[in-house]
Amino acid sequence: MALVLNIETATTNCSVSLSKDGETLVLKEDNSAGYSHAETLHVYIKDVFAEANISSKNIDAVAVSKGPGSYTGLRIGVSSAKGLCYALSKPLISVSTLESLAHQVKADDGIIIPMLDARRMEVYSAIFNHKYEQVREIKAEVLTEESYIDLLKDNKVYFVGSGVAKTKELLNHPNAIFVEDKLPSANEMSLLSELKYKKSDIEDVAYFEPYYLKDFVAVKKKV
């Protein structure tokens, strides 16, 4: 049983929740401002503690979405989580961004494919069954009209996340179900961080790094 601060910054959704025993007590998030995490994250952290009327000293752990996702977003989230862990002497828990995203789909059968938009026709994705058991590793893949055809033959396949829009343009199959307008949220982190806390599945605060999946590539700004 734990009181956990959950931080999600892997995409444009800056999201913070305070959870108890795996249930979200307070959620603060906003996707409308784009990548404004540096300005808003600590405001949201302060807000969730104030709304819950709980002191930060009373939490049992800090959980952070570990990626894959935006390089800058992940750096901000992990740096903030580490700082809180050091300041409060609390353990750090990492939660897979794609696993958390998969939990936004509720299904009695079939396959869940959480996917985050990457460059051009590429997505970061993983594959889970309807019980949220991971059945394929996380990888970066370029989408084509043949993507996931073998899965679609015999299963309902739920696509969720920011990569859905480009996937929908390519796949026209009756078993393809597109769950649109969803981004990773600290709300779904609540259960996952609780499960990890119970197992003492924590990170080394000094050495933990986000899971970028691909190396950061700097792009020159057009003049």
Per-residue pLDDT at 217: 44
Question: What local confidence, expressed as pLDDT, does residue 215 receive?
Answer: 55
- Chain centre distance of CA 23: 17
Helix-then-strand count for the chain, H and E: 6, 10
**Considering only CA atoms, which of 121, 126, 128 is closest in space to residue 146?**
121
Which residue ranges of the chain lie beneath pLDDT 70? 215-223
pLDDT, position 73: 95
Share of the chain above pLDDT 90, in %: 91
Tens of pLDDT, residues 117-151:
998 899 999 999 999 999 999 999 999 999 999 99
